[in-house]
Structure 1
Amino acid sequence: MSDTPAIRPRQGAAKKDALSAKAAGSRATRPTSGKATLETVAMLAGVSRMTVSRVINRPESVTPELREIVLKAISETGYVPNLLAGGLASSRTKLVAAVVPTLTHVLFSGAIQAFTDRLALDGYQMLLGLSGYPTEREGELLQAILSRRPDALYLTGTSHLAQTRRQLRAANIPIVETWDLSHKAVDMAVGFSHQAVGRGVAEYLHHKGYRQFAAISAEDERAMLRTREFVATLARHGIQEVTCLSTEAPSSMAMGRQALGELLARGFRQGAIQCSSDAMAHGVVLEAQARGLSVPGDIAVIGFGDLDFAAYMSPPLSTVRIDRSAIGRLAAEALLTRLAGNRVTRKVVDVGFEIVERATA
């Protein structure tokens, strides 16, 4: 594909291409076999290869009439532009890669939807990779992604293997880490403090008068950070015994039910339970009700995420609300600002959190 020209074409040249295209409309025929190429589109539209390239890479540099003719030819031939080849000179693929652990939780998918929508406004597409929870898998995935030269990266979390961190810095592209905060971010960060969430939940439940506590957490680094700070905050209030259980990540409703059964087997009969996700908290509530326990009379429960179902449970679930759409939108805006060659005013953005008080706690 020809390089995109640095200047707008002369109006006379555009008119000439438009006239040629009109004349070609009656005599050009769509190829009946073979792979569609840039030349195929140019021949059918009756314009130069350069003009087709302009329509693909800089549509604003040609007239609407000419753009419509070329786009029609692209549609008729089934031609798919090789944006990677076109980006070799400009170093732009218009592709941003995003890496999340899972789409099982709406927390991540909600942020990714907002991220994708904001990128699309500036003509960028999103390539999604699922890393799972072991850090090693993230490293392997990122190596594969970076080899394909995306324009920018969206990452989940700020904890990476040392080798992965070196590769990220060497890539020399805009990178935003999300769902956590770190002043040692690879480049930029948009998220919130998990320690602050754990501390806030402990203070909330302690203020409500609860004095016996348990915590059920998925084996995810961010969830464990919340639990450790939850336990540490209660210790500062003189509460030294907190029953803690961990489950595989990602957590689920079934895991919540099983975890409450184990807590009850250990003798936990009354008090407040902090759960690392709303799904897990929902399972705890269902299991308590199945065993004839009152929520919140016998057991109080608080989740994390404020997912759509939380407000409509019976009883409605107390939880921690994170503005996941804001995370996706702000992450996209940070990357787009850098891609436009501008400086980001805040490299670390804290979206905060809110404890939502409902009937379970």
Structure 2
Amino acid sequence: MPRLEEVAALANVSSATVSRYFNSPGIVAPATAQRIEAAIAATGYLPNLTAGALASSRSRLIAALVPDIAQSIFNDTMEAMIDALSVEGNSVILALTGTTDGRLGAQINAALSRRVDAIILTGIVADAAIRAQLRTSRVTVIETWGLPDDPIDIAIGFSHRAIGDALACFLRDRGYRRPHLIVPRSPRAERRAAAFAERWIADGGEPPTRFEVNVPSHFGQGRLSYRGLADLAVQPDVVVCGSDWIAQGLIVEAQVAGVAVPAQLAVTGFGNLRMAGDMRPTITSVDVDGARIAHEVNRVLRLRAAGTKLAERSIDVGFRIIARESA
């Protein structure tokens, strides 16, 4: 394997300058960087990341843990986050945790064994033992897509209860009176559904009917959920779906049955996936700024790498209700 000293000699710079090029490329003059890049191409040099990690106590490995990636509402956020982390010189390990604490714990142990610089979690970890383990790990831990009352380390997300409350107000203001909730079996979706029902009842409405589905959400659940509406004693005028995938399936099934959306039945989703704006009718949905989450994650990691103390432990990125044709 070619050595760093060979690259330095060919580029007519010191070995320290080549090291700076790899570790902090922004501080190397453009002309110098071009010579180093040419020397790297000519020699086929690859840096010894293991040696660099030992010298700097940083592995530049980031573990990103998500429940699933098939039809996932987290995909856009993960893509933006991985792109940004890569630009900063990090390598991202993407691991799937499913919905069980055992699988999550195994992936966390694997990440810690590889001496990652940070673990990025999707959602709030409920298991007390796992939370305690992460608190003592001395690794940056970032919980995303939620704002726990007491973060493990740093939380970057939004309030699911605030979303449920805002959706109830939004739909009441639009004149709907008989909501039906389709709730994925996850703590996040349950918080939104509970807050929706509390606000709806507090404003004088009857308790919403509801139907639960398994996670992860998928198109077929929406189709089955629509068929289940026939069993309700009172037919809803709006269905609040726990994901855009469920909303899409429900709208398609309603159209097959000759039911006009939203004239006869309104539908809302969650996640504001790309297809929500491509459907006909387009789907009213809750938008979470995945790019903002990715930006904040990278800001936190940069500050931690510089040894800067963070002023806040919870960063609320907020949300928006995107009103479209379906409701």
TM-score if structure 1 supplies the norm length?
A: 0.80
Aligned CA distance change for structure 1 residues 96 and 331 (closer, same or farther; 3 Å): same
Residue 242 in structure 1 maps to residue 204 in structure 2:
no
Q: Once superposed, what is the RMSD of the aligned Cα atoms?
A: 2.6
Which residue number corresponds to residue 14 of structure 1? Answer: none
1:75-105 C-alpha deviation (Å, 9 max, x unpaired): 1xxx654423432242111121111112224
1:284 to 250, 257, 267: 250
2-structure distance, mates of 1:43, 1:324: 42
> Shift of the alpha carbon at 1:41?
2.9
Residue 203 in structure 1 maps to residue 169 in structure 2:
yes
> Shift of the alpha carbon at 1:346?
2.7
2-structure distance, mates of 1:335, 1:92: 12
Aligned CA distance change for structure 1 residues 309 and 85 (closer, same or farther; 3 Å): same
Which residue number corresponds to residue 41 of structure 1? Answer: 3
2-structure distance, mates of 1:89, 1:314: 56
2:73 to 107, 117, 120: 107
Instruction: Give secondary structure in 2 for the equivalent of 1:123.
Output: coil
Query: Is the 2:180–2:240 Cα contact (8 Å) retained in structure 1?
Result: yes
1-structure distance, mates of 2:39, 2:113: 32
Residue 323 in structure 1 maps to residue 289 in structure 2:
yes
> Shift of the alpha carbon at 1:56?
5.1
Which residue number corresponds to residue 71 of structure 1? Answer: 40
Aligned CA distance change for structure 1 residues 149 and 261 (closer, same or farther; 3 Å): same
For residue 36 of structure 2, what is the amino acid of its counterpart? R
Instruction: Give secondary structure in 1 for the equivalent of 2:121.
Output: strand
Residue 310 in structure 1 maps to residue 276 in structure 2:
yes
Instruction: Give secondary structure in 1 for the equivalent of 2:120.
Output: strand
For residue 329 of structure 1, what is the amino acid of its counterpart? H
Query: Is the 1:305–1:319 Cα contact (8 Å) retained in structure 2?
Result: yes
2-structure distance, mates of 1:215, 1:175: 33
Aligned CA distance change for structure 1 residues 195 and 120 (closer, same or farther; 3 Å): same
Which residue number corresponds to residue 15 of structure 1? Answer: none
Which residue number corresponds to residue 226 of structure 1? Answer: 192
Aligned CA distance change for structure 1 residues 58 and 308 (closer, same or farther; 3 Å): closer
Query: Is the 1:269–1:299 Cα contact (8 Å) retained in structure 2?
Result: no
1:2-60 C-alpha deviation (Å, 9 max, x unpaired): xxxxxxxxxxxxxxxxxxxxxxxxxxxxxxxxxx4xxx53686696xx93983655676
Aligned CA distance change for structure 1 residues 41 and 225 (closer, same or farther; 3 Å): same
Instruction: Give secondary structure in 1 for the equivalent of 2:212.
Output: strand
Residue 151 in structure 1 maps to residue 117 in structure 2:
yes
Q: How many residues matched?
A: 319
TM-score if structure 2 supplies the norm length?
A: 0.88
For residue 187 of structure 1, what is the amino acid of its counterpart? D
Aligned CA distance change for structure 1 residues 65 and 210 (closer, same or farther; 3 Å): closer
For residue 40 of structure 2, what is the amino acid of its counterpart? L
Unaligned runs of 5+ in 2: none
Aligned CA distance change for structure 1 residues 57 and 295 (closer, same or farther; 3 Å): closer
1-structure distance, mates of 2:172, 2:189: 20
Query: Is the 2:161–2:192 Cα contact (8 Å) retained in structure 1?
Result: yes
Between 1:192-201 and 1:235-244, the stretch displaced more is 235-244
Aligned CA distance change for structure 1 residues 199 and 68 (closer, same or farther; 3 Å): closer
2-structure distance, mates of 1:342, 1:231: 42
1-structure distance, mates of 2:277, 2:24: 47
Which residue number corresponds to residue 95 of structure 1? Answer: 61
Unaligned runs of 5+ in 1: 1-35
2-structure distance, mates of 1:357, 1:69: 52
Aligned CA distance change for structure 1 residues 56 and 323 (closer, same or farther; 3 Å): closer
Residue 160 in structure 1 maps to residue 126 in structure 2:
yes
For residue 15 of structure 2, what is the amino acid of its counterpart? T
> Shift of the alpha carbon at 1:238?
3.2
2-structure distance, mates of 1:43, 1:117: 30
Between 1:50-59 and 1:228-237, the stretch displaced more is 50-59
1:197-217 C-alpha deviation (Å, 9 max, x unpaired): 011111111222222121002
> Shift of the alpha carbon at 1:347?
2.2
For residue 41 of structure 1, what is the amino acid of its counterpart? R
2-structure distance, mates of 1:352, 1:64: 40
> Shift of the alpha carbon at 1:126?
1.6
Residue 181 in structure 1 maps to residue 143 in structure 2:
no
For residue 305 of structure 2, what is the amino acid of its counterpart? L
For residue 276 of structure 1, what is the amino acid of its counterpart? G
Between 1:265-274 and 1:209-218, the stretch displaced more is 265-274
Which residue number corresponds to residue 27 of structure 1? Answer: none
